[in-house]
Every structure is written in structure tokens, then in C-alpha cells.
Amino acid sequence: MSNRRDFMGMALGGFTALGGIGALYAMKRTWDPLPSVKAAGFTTIDLKDAQENVLVTEKWRGKPIFILKQSKEMVEKAKKSDELKRLIKIGDEYYMVAVGLCTHLGCIPGYDSGKQSFLCACHGGQYDSTAMVTKAPPPRGLDIPPFRIDGTKIVLGEEGPEYKKMLADGITMKV
Amino acid sequence: MAHFEKANSINEWLDQRIGINTIKRVMQTEYWIPKNINFLWAMGMVLAATFGLLLVSGIFLLMYYQPNTELAFDSVNYTIMTEVGYGWLWRHIHGVGASVVFLVIYIHMFTGIYYGSYKRGRELIWISGMLLFVLFSAEAFSGYMLPWGQMSYWAGMVITNLFSGGSLHADGLVEWIRGDYVPGQAFLGRFFMLHVLLMPLAIIGAIVFHFGTLRIPHVNNQDGEEIDFEESARLWKEGKRAESKVIPFSPVFLSKDVFVMGVYFILFFYLVFYHFEFAMDPVNFDPADGLKTPTHIYPEWYFLWSYEILRPFPTDPGLVAFGIAQVIFFLLPFLDRSPNVAPASRRGLFNFWFWALLIDMIVLTFMGKLPPEGIWSTIGLVAAITFFVLWIALPIITKLEKKL
């Protein structure tokens, strides 16, 4: 009698647990980003038309993306301060591509093309033309989004070899 | 088939079927409340009534609100506010109610702390009350997302970002919570569901539990006196009401409650009709824009103290401090090592502790609103550290406390 009850109890408990786990998995999956949201997570930008020292703002995954084609003078400056590694080289041109959110508290910095630097109005953080931080409080330069170079275009959201190298060298962190 | 006699009244008919007289006796006429209390003991029913107002106003708002990122802002600010007859009334009751309910919760909490109403059998009252505080916080936050203004969007961004755990960079978890890389349709949809169904259900359940935890230990009194409820109840029922130390919950105590509620509702509706703007942040009257951050992002006033505990520290210690601040109040019955149930004024160092905590949290609240610059940062940091020093000191000073 007791064995039979134990068996019934265990069978009920087992199936209930199984159903519970199944239900939890279904609930977790329902909260996952939708395939359409995931698919919209890639943005292709043609850098061909970008002009030197003119900031272009694009949108990727709902976040602003800064694109700044570097002038000769800016490249020289970047070479001197060893920040060339932050730039993306396509052909003979260098481009700064970064997520336009201050690494301090996520405000959007503004670009001053005269001073060739970014200023975040929230707490006074500053970045140079390679988006490296030059004045605290931001803890690091602007983050570089995952990218893959495709001719004169870059595909944001895909991880190309150039991006993987940047990650490995600790130039940016994953966003 | 059970045996039923013909009933002579509706009451008798109900009593035969669901034992309504027993329910009335257990929950009202023989649920005893001490006489030795003051108006602060009415805060529980004030909260219940405010929750009722939030529920009713919410039901009417729900009929016109559109949980869609394209339509939400206009459905609140245009449809409900200008087109729907008396739509403004429900919105202002809902907005003012959401703000005021936290003021009363804090008064209710600090009354409990002052009179020691969280120990010697009353631990579960305190813990279920803290659970309600957490649920109300989640309810307030999810509701704040719904008008889909700039503050909704950016508060949603910043608060969900907390789940990345600082240096852990658990961005996958954050994206899972949002259902998107940034707050969007999936985010609005799920917070709408949480706000109008899951959280209210949980709150109602927790309120029932909170009331249940009161029934056996009974409410505390102004002197923390241990009352022989059976003896006092006997005196009351024998008609020796002057000698009895208790009164029945209903109708006697409830009539006192209703008086306090009357005064409270005069103030409440004064705010609803003439000063609703304090509960409406002007920044949230700009539609959500993911490409434009407001200059200062700050939460509603009732979250400011814990926000200020997060802010003055570097990211990781800040998150740990914030996490601890959210749960530390749950532990109050166990961190207070003194057996005394008495008002703080009779408990020596604990009196100092109580007022220091209250003042510290008010300071944190003010600093949380001010921009984190110069002297304000410093005061904020000192107040945040003081908060933790006080909680570390609590077991020590209560251990040293003399038994009354």
C-alpha cells in the first residue's frame, strides 16, 4: 500500500516537475528578442560619401553611431598619441566609428568640428577625434560597435576580423 | 446532501452556506485592536484605500491607453487628457496616488520601526510589508514606462542597464529583459502586462497575506505592552468596555480609521485638483527619443534615496551597495538584537539610531535629485556611507541595550 502511494506520489511529482520545467522554458523563450528584432540588428553604412571632419550620426540597434572621416591632420595627431588603432582603415582613409553614448552615464556627446573634439554636456566628459577620452569622468573612450568591412561599406552588428582584433587588443569592449 | 433549514433572513441564508457570521466574527467584530494607539495606526487602512483609488483610476485609464510605442504617448497626453470625458481626473488621481502612496508607505514603515512592531512574533508582518514595498516599487516603475515620454524611456534604459551587473557585462540578460537592444515595443508590451496584471495580482495576494500575518500577533500599541487579548476580549464582551484594553476592529477601530482617511482624502484631492503637477515630471511630456538624452536622469522622489546610494560609488561597489540597500530592511527583525518592544524614545541608543536613519534617508533623497557635482557629491557620499554604518551598528547597539 505504502509503496503504491509512494509510486503515485513520485509519478505525479515527476510529471509535474517536467511540465513545470517545460513551462518555464516556454516562458523564457517568449521573453527572448523576436527574430525580427534580431534581424533588424544589422545596419550597413556606405562610408564612400563621408566628408572629412563632418560628423555623421547613424542609428544601430536604437543607439546613435558616430562616424567621423579623419583629415590628414587628424590622422597625424592620432599617430602621435598612438590612437590610430582606434580607427577603421578603408583603402587609404581612416574613419572613427563609435557608439555615440558617453561611457560615463550614457548621454550623447556633441561634436565641435573647430576644436575637433567631443564634449558631453551632462558631466563635462571630453573625447578627441578618435573618440578617446581626454577628460574624466568617462572611464574609457567611446565603445566601437561590432563591424565587418565590405568594400567601402561597413556592416554593423557583424564581427569582422578587424573588429575581433580590436577586441583582442582591448581597444574596445563588447557592446 | 447536507441538511439545510429554511432561512429567515439573507444573513441567515448566507450563514448557512458560507458561515458569514464566523467570517464577520473572526475578521471584524472579534478581531481586537488595542485602545492605546494613535493616528499612525490608521496608515494601513489609508494605504488600502489609496490602493483602491489607484485600482479604480487605473481601470478607467486602461480603456483608452494604447501599449504601442507609436501611440502610447498620444493616447495618454492627447486622448485621455483632452478627449476622454474626465480622463484628466483618472490620470491625476493615478499620478498623485502613485506618489502619495509611497509617502504613506514610508510613514507606515517608520512607525513600525519606531514602535518596534517587527519583532517578538511580528516578524512576518514586517517581512510581508517589505515584500509589498518591493512589489509597489515594481508596480510604480512599470507604470512609469507607460506614457512613453523621455523620462519613461531613459529611466527604462538606466534601470534595465543595472541588470548588466557592472563589470559582469551581462548584456544578454539586459537584452532578454528588454526583448530588444534598447527599450522598444517588446519592452513596452511586457511592462504594460506587468503593470496592469501580474504586479496588481501579486500586490493583492501580498496584502491578503500581510493582513493574515497580523491576526495572531495583533497590532502593536504605543507602549509595546504585551496585552492578554483573551482577557480583554472577555471584558469587552461582558460589557466592561472601560476596563478592557481592546476594541473590535469593526466597527469601532474602523470608525477611527475612517476619520483619519477623511482628513487624508481632503489633502489627497487637494493635490489631485490643484497640485497634480508635482507628480508629473515636465521632461516626460516630451515623447521618447532614443537619440536624445535628457540632461539629468533621475527617478521619482521615492526612489531617490536608493539611487543616491548607487551613484556616489564606482560602478561595481555602487551596484553592490544598491543591492544591499534594497534588501537590508527585510533583515531588520533579525538585526535588532534587543528583546524590547517599546517606542524608540525609551530605548537609549536605538532612539538616536532611528532618527539618524530617518534624517540620513531624507538627506539621500535630496542629494539624489541634485546634480552630482561638487559639494553635493560629497554630501551624497557621506550620507551613503552613513546609511551602511548605521546598519552595521544596529546589531551592536541593540545587543548593548538594557532590557526594559
Alpha-carbon span B379 to B381, nearest angstrom: 5
Number of Cβ within a 10 Å radius of residue B183? 26
| Residues B348, B340 contacting (CB under 8 angstroms) | no
- Predicted local distance difference test score (pLDDT) of residue B30: 95
Cell of B390: 548605521
Task: Provide the shortest C-alpha distance from residue A129 to chain B (in Å).
Answer: 20
Q: Dump pLDDT digits (tens) for A6-55.
A: 999 999 999 999 999 999 999 999 999 999 888 888 888 888 888 888 88
Number of Cβ within a 10 Å radius of residue B151? 22
Under DSSP, the state recorded for B398 is H
Mutation target to probe the B interface, by most B beta carbons within 10 A, among A27, A56, A61 is A61
Helix (H/G/I), strand (E/B), else coil: A35: helix
Task: Provide the shortest C-alpha distance from residue B377 to chain A (in Å).
Answer: 12
Q: Is residue B290 part of a domain?
A: yes
- Predicted local distance difference test score (pLDDT) of residue B111: 98
Number of Cβ within a 10 Å radius of residue B338? 22
Q: Is residue B17 part of a domain?
A: no
Helix (H/G/I), strand (E/B), else coil: B211: helix
CB under 8 A, 24+ apart: contacts of A109-116: A109/A142, A111/A55, A111/A66, A111/A68, A113/A53, A113/A54, A113/A55, A116/A53, A116/A74
Residues B203 and B319 in one domain: no
Residues B280 and B343 in one domain: no
Partner-chain contact B181 A174, CB within 8 Å = no
Residues B189 and B313 in one domain: no
Alpha-carbon span B390 to B404, nearest angstrom: 23
**Which residues in chain B are closer than 8 Å to A65, comparing Cβ atoms?**
none
Task: Provide the shortest C-alpha distance from residue A154 to chain B (in Å).
Answer: 20
Cell of B177: 529583459
Residues B157 and B259 in one domain: yes
- Predicted local distance difference test score (pLDDT) of residue B373: 74
- Residue in chain B closest to A28 (alpha carbons) equals B176
- Predicted local distance difference test score (pLDDT) of residue B288: 94
| Residues B354, B114 contacting (CB under 8 angstroms) | yes
By Cβ distance, the residue of B179, B182, B293 closest to A62 is: B182
Q: Is residue B19 part of a domain?
A: no
Helix (H/G/I), strand (E/B), else coil: A74: helix
Q: What is the CATH number of the domain that holds B275?
A: 1.20.810.10
Cell of A76: 597625424
**Stretch (H or E) spanning B289:** none
- Residue appearing with cell numbers 560609488: B313
- Predicted local distance difference test score (pLDDT) of residue B344: 96
Residues B233 and B365 in one domain: no
Indicate the pLDDT class of residue A1, thresholds 50, 70 and 90.
low
- Predicted local distance difference test score (pLDDT) of residue B62: 97
Partner-chain contact A37 B182, CB within 8 Å = no
Intervals of chain B under pLDDT 70:
none
Residues B328 and B286 in one domain: no
**Which residues in chain A are closer than 8 Å to B181, comparing Cβ atoms?**
33, 37, 41, 61-63
Residues B320 and B377 in one domain: yes
Partner-chain contact B296 A173, CB within 8 Å = no
Residues B274 and B362 in one domain: no
Residues B331 and B183 in one domain: no
Q: Is residue B4 part of a domain?
A: no
- Using an 8 Å CB-CB cutoff, list residues of chain A that contact chain B: 31-34, 37, 41, 57, 59, 61-64, 105-108, 121-123, 139, 173-175
| Residues B225, B36 contacting (CB under 8 angstroms) | yes
* Entry field: residues in chain B: 404
- Predicted local distance difference test score (pLDDT) of residue A71: 83
- Predicted local distance difference test score (pLDDT) of residue B6: 93
By Cβ distance, the residue of B180, B292, B373 closest to A33 is: B180
Q: Is residue B16 part of a domain?
A: no
Q: Is residue B399 part of a domain?
A: yes
Average pLDDT, chain A: 85
- DSSP assignment of B347-371 equals STHHHHHHHHHHHHHHHHHHHHHS-
Residues B287 and B174 in one domain: yes
Partner-chain contact B290 A63, CB within 8 Å = yes
CA-CA-CA-CA torsion sign (A60, A65, A71, A72): negative
Q: What percent of chain A has pLDDT over 70?
A: 99
Cell of B293: 538624452
| Residues A61, A48 contacting (CB under 8 angstroms) | no
Q: Is residue B21 part of a domain?
A: no
- Residue in chain A closest to B293 (alpha carbons) equals A107
Helix (H/G/I), strand (E/B), else coil: A121: coil
- Residue in chain A closest to B179 (alpha carbons) equals A33
The candidate with the shortest Cα–Cα distance to A93, out of A78, A114, A71, is: A71
- Predicted local distance difference test score (pLDDT) of residue A169: 80
- Using an 8 Å CB-CB cutoff, list residues of chain B that contact chain A: 157-158, 161, 169, 171, 175-184, 186, 190, 290-293, 295-297, 315, 372-373
| Sequence-ordered list of residues with C-beta below 8 angstroms from that of A43, at least 6 positions apart, any chain | A58, A59, A60, A61, A65, A155, A156, A157
**Stretch (H or E) spanning B280:** none
- Of the residues B244, B278, B297, which one is the last residue of a structural domain? B297
Q: Is residue B2 part of a domain?
A: no
Residues B216 and B363 in one domain: no
pLDDT at A62 over 70: yes
Range name among A62-76, A79-93, B127-141, B353-367 with the lowest pLDDT average: A79-93
By Cβ distance, the residue of B175, B315, B372 closest to A33 is: B175
**Which residues in chain A are closer than 8 Å to B161, comparing Cβ atoms?**
106
Quick check: ipTM above 0.90? no
Domain boundaries, position B378: 307-404
pLDDT at A77 over 80: no
Helix (H/G/I), strand (E/B), else coil: B119: coil
Helices (H), B6-118: 10-18, 20-24, 43-62, 72-74, 87-115
Partner-chain contact A106 B176, CB within 8 Å = no
Task: Provide the shortest C-alpha distance from residue B295 to chain A (in Å).
Answer: 6
- Of the residues B277, B297, B317, which one is the last residue of a structural domain? B297
- Of the residues B257, B273, B297, which one is the last residue of a structural domain? B297
**Stretch (H or E) spanning A20:** helix A2-31
- Residue in chain B closest to A58 (alpha carbons) equals B291
User: Who wins on pLDDT, B402 or A121?
Assistant: B402
Residues B176 and B231 in one domain: yes
Annotate A125-142 with three-state secondary structure. Answer: CEECCCCCEEECCCCCCC
Q: How many domains does chain B have?
A: 2
